[in-house]
Structure 1
Amino acid sequence: MKLEGSSVKKLPVAAAVMAVVAALSGPAMAYQAGDVIVRAGAATVDPDVDSGKLKANGAVVNPADPTTVDVDSDTQLGLSMTYMLDDKFGIELLAATPFQHTIKTKGGLASLGKLADVKHLPPTLTLQYYPMDSSSAFQPYVGLGLNYTTFFDEEFKGSNKTAFRGLELKDSWGLAAQLGADYRIDDNWSVNAAVWYVDIDTEAKFKSADGTTKYKVDVELDPMVYMVGVAYKF
């Protein structure tokens, strides 16, 4: 699990947004045991890719100029549901509509360009802590939990459809850390902003069209996930 580079630089941005919301806080009812909070909004998965070298039949392809991969970001509908265990702790399940990413090649085989498209779902179960009491409409929270990412609908693009076949990405288990905040509008409605760091590692395998060459590349995706939307308390 890594948390460095561009991912670290993005964390202060989320913290600054939440600090501005905090300055607007006022009286409100705190969450309590048995409350169910449903949040929905625009969720962006922004991978911080650390790619291994592409291998063919176990050997690095052109070691003098190895091929690596990159993955673009995507925005979909994010959904989460939190069940409050008491006024300080809750359990959240994060879900979303499927994210779709394009895998691109870099280095020696950069000419392959946009290699393939792949979809994924990243359900995440998180234990959350809410430090504020009922004197504040601003309800920040932190969370730590477990992510499971499943990949599906892997499909080569353009001329790569005839050059390769059998693309599969291995599913991933990893830790997830969260920082979020609700600003209460009334007893039920809030506006919400949240950011997650998710540890996602996968292995991509595929074959040449005739099946004689087997390719493999290990990839750490480790995305930041951002969501802005609304929350409703039942």
Structure 2
Amino acid sequence: MTRSSTLLTRSTLLLALAAPFAVQAQAVDSPWLVRVRAVNLDSANKDSTGLGLSINDKVLPEIDFSYFVTPQFAVELILTYPQKQKIRSNGVEIGTLKHLPPTLTAQYHFTDFGAFKPYVGAGVNYTRFSNVNFNPAVAAALQPSVDKNSWGFALQAGMDYEVSKNLYVNFDVKKVQIRTDVSSFGTKVGEFRVDPWLIGLGIGRRF
């Protein structure tokens, strides 16, 4: 056998051995999925202060980054920018605040339904309240303040529908625990519970 024939034979064997691994590599999806959503924030607006506190509902933008540890298990980080809300007491506006509510969830994705890919998740939310401003009359009469930090649980369910290769339409529902202590003249007078439902619709792409 000539040298060229030997090289050709070895190359053919190497290609034959590598082919299954190449096919497998092509079949494995990227572990990263990025989604953008429009989300409706629907607050529970419950408080124990006797002031009838509430914030306004609104539609806000959201972006999330999911990393798939396996085809079924993923970790998702959910982000937006600080959202400005109106504070009301018994329906009367008394001030404004901003809140930033990043959420981290662990998810299980069901993979036996073809292009339809439902999932459930649970995790933790951290909300930072900032730029809390009360109307001058309210500030002078009550000297109100709120705790700037909130930690709580988050539950999630949703689905991705693959409309084309690596491109998805997403529907997502979350229940998030967001609460803060309310004080007057430095003394706690109760707790305000935002505890919103977050219902979102968006698109996602796997990279």
Could you state the TM-score of these two structures normalised by the residue count of structure 2?
0.78
Shift of 1:206: 4.5
Deviations 1:86-116 (A, max 9, x none): 110100001112222212112xxx7xx2111
Report the counterpart of residue 49 of structure 1 in structure 2. Answer: 45
Q: Tell me whether 1:89 sits opposite 2:73 in the alignment.
A: yes
Is the CA contact 2:181–2:188 (under 8 Å) kept in the aligned structure 1? no
Give the corresponding residue for 2:64.
80
Stretches of structure 2 lacking an aligned partner (at least 5 in a row): 1-26
1:124 equivalenced with 2:120 (yes/no) = no
Q: Which moved more, 1:71-80 or 1:176-185?
A: 71-80
2:171 maps to 1:193: yes
The one-letter code sitting in structure 2 at the alignment partner of 1:88 is Q
> For the Cα contact (< 8 Å) 1:34–1:86, is it kept in 2?
no
| Stretches of 4+ aligned residues off by more than 6 angstroms | none
Among 28, 35, 56, which residue is 2:31 paired with? 35
**1:173 equivalent in structure 2:** 151
Find the structure with the greater CA-based Rg.
Answer: 2
Cα deviation, 1:215-234, whole Å, max 9, x if unaligned, reads 73311221101111110100
> Which of the residues 88, 92, 96 maps onto 1:104?
88
Contact 1:75 1:99 in 2 (8 A): no
CA contact (8 A) 2:71 2:111 kept: no
CA offsets 1:7-49 (integer angstroms, 9 cap, x no match): xxxxxxxxxxxxxxxxxxxxxxxx9575100010212221112
Name the % identity: 30
Q: From the two aligned structures, give the one with the greater helix fraction.
A: 2
Q: Is the 8 A contact 1:33 1:85 kept in 2?
A: no
Q: Supply the RMSD in Å over aligned alpha carbons.
A: 2.3
Take 1:80 and 1:144, find their aligned partners in 2: how far apart are those partners? 15
May I ask how many residue pairs the two structures share in their alignment? 181
Length-normalised TM-score, structure 1: 0.70
CA gap of 1:158–1:181, structure 2 versus 1, over 3 A, is farther
Q: What is the alpha-carbon distance in structure 2 between the residues aligned to residue 188 and residue 34 of structure 1? A: 9
| Corresponding residue for residue 13 of structure 1 | none
Question: How does 1:61-76 map onto structure 2 within 5 Å?
Answer: 66-76=50-60
Structure 1 residues 129-157: Cα deviation after superposition (integer angstroms, max 9, x where no partner): 11123x51111110011111111111124
Task: Return 5+ residue gaps in structure 1 as ranges.
Answer: 1-30, 54-65, 208-212
Counterpart contact for 1:74–1:99, Cα < 8 Å:
no
The alignment partner of 1:48 has SS state of coil
